[in-house]
Structure 1
Amino acid sequence: MTLWQTPACLIMMVLLDSINDVWTLAAPGSVTMTSVDRTHTLTWIPPETPCNTTILYSVQFQGEFELMVLNGSWVDSSDCQRVPRTHCDLTFDLGSDSDYNIRVRAQCGSEASAWSKLSPTFNRRHTVLMVPNMKVEAMGTGLQVSFYELPVAAAAKVTVWKKDDKQQLPVFQESVYSVPVQLQVPGLQEGAKYCVMAQVVLIQRVLSSTEAQCVTILAKDAQWKTPTTVTGTVIIMSGLLFVVFWSIVHCQPHHCRAYFTKEPLPQSLHIEDVQIRMRPEETELCDRVHLVPSNKD
């Protein structure tokens, strides 16, 4: 009896193992990393295995410190543990310039999938930096350069040069590390045109540059002409409007009659003086009619 039952138990165990392999939750697929302006976002595709509840995902990472010092341990992402979304922001988790191993797994109820690893490893140095928005304005005999957005941990190196200079020797250079900021570039030549360009620098590497913006420094006498002309025009128009309004409100009746006289109508428009003559054949004929009542039986 024991010899007969032993092979049967082995067969049942194999069948149970094969059934468990069929219904094991599949791992997430297509794990990719997108890094723009030092913002690192991990994305993946949900598993095709059906699940009666919402599939939850967990993300772990392993940097050089975890690999060498912590004996190859993995660290849970603080914002991506048992989350229903298929993306994870790892900007603040990946805090060094080392190569990171990253993995994600799915969970359906009490059943968890295998880990899906990002391949190849990710280093935040490979981020793509976009060109920042730069505004250049002429302010008197100088320039004002404004920035409102910069990538995280990046700097903008601002260079100013005179446009007519063939060698484009810089007359001003400065690096910007935080925004919003407005750089003042004083002491420029009146009537000359200057160009400004900014380069985004990350760890002493130039990753992107803005297009050159050129402005003309106005002469001192021209600086007050435009605002003075605008101010004078506004004052004159306001005075005219005030005079017209005051005249309408305070106009006396006898004065108003002098300006607003009533013209008499032309003689042809007086209806009482118009007589329409009719021809004899058009005259209405009227006869007196006598009605005789009828006698009823």
Structure 2
Amino acid sequence: MRPSPATIALLGLIAYAPAASAGEEWQHAIDTGLGKPGAAMPGNVYRVGLPRSDLHVTLDGVALKPAFALGSWLAFRKMDGEVMVMGDLVLTEDEVNPVMQHLIENGIEITALHNHLLRASPGTLYMHVSGHGDPQKLAMTLREALGASRTPFGGATAGGTPPFGNTGPASAGEGPVPVRAAAPDQTLDLDTAAIDRELGRKGKVNGGVYAVSVPRAQTPRDHGMVVPEAMGSAIAINFQPTGGGKAAVTGDFVLTADEVNPVLKALRTNGIEVTALHNHMLDDEPRLFFMHFWANDDVAKLVKGLRAALDQVRVAKT
């Protein structure tokens, strides 16, 4: 009889057993429970990226890189003697119900489920989650839930972490599957300096994508907890070069109610499609709306439109 995905995940956790090094005890507990190390971020946040490198998604003829629009993540923050977690899980349609069922049964809240893009093939859905409690238990619950998906947990990461295989249905019964380490980022076919100047922020190259983060002027709270930039409270703008001076662009604007329609109009006026509008949290203050967008066009034109949209938002001063 073949072992279940959850059993394989637990066996992998035992094999992983990361050694304690620099960092806090609660962060090591997350590493152990999740079976994959994260990174310390500003705001006392410990964030683990889980890009869906197993998916091959195209949109309007563009093959989407995992870092562009297929990046699951979990962000943990220590608060009042326990750990809070928020995250965004990228799932295929057949993965949604199994993952959701395990999360519900083990005390993790589902705060949103929606699309980000239109016309993508295969389609993906995005499940936002929230929970609090013991860090290792939270991490193990999330790992077991994602064992009902094909989310990869493998690949060498900075610091020499050993590869850890996919525990989803595709590899059930086959044991851990080694995954090659990702190649170093290449120089992008983008004038990133011009993008930085126009948007007023300096981006970063990540997985063949140029990512720009723009925090709001006011740091929001959820259930009374401050939600730092690393937990998804900042505007995210991603550029993926598509050749000939063009790029695909996607991400989300984080908006208060009065900013929604001015930003929507600015984007559409400049040829940028608005593909989704929804909430990510349940008890946020101020109440925030997340507007996702898409375009594949001349970079200078896109940046001009994005700047026009940013001008409608109360963003933090540089």
- Structures share fold, TM-score greater than 0.5: no
TM score, norm. by length of structure 2:
0.19
* Larger Rg over CA atoms: 1
TM-score (ref. length: structure 1)? 0.20
The structure showing larger relative contact order (alpha-carbon pairs under 8 Å, at least 6 residues apart) is 2
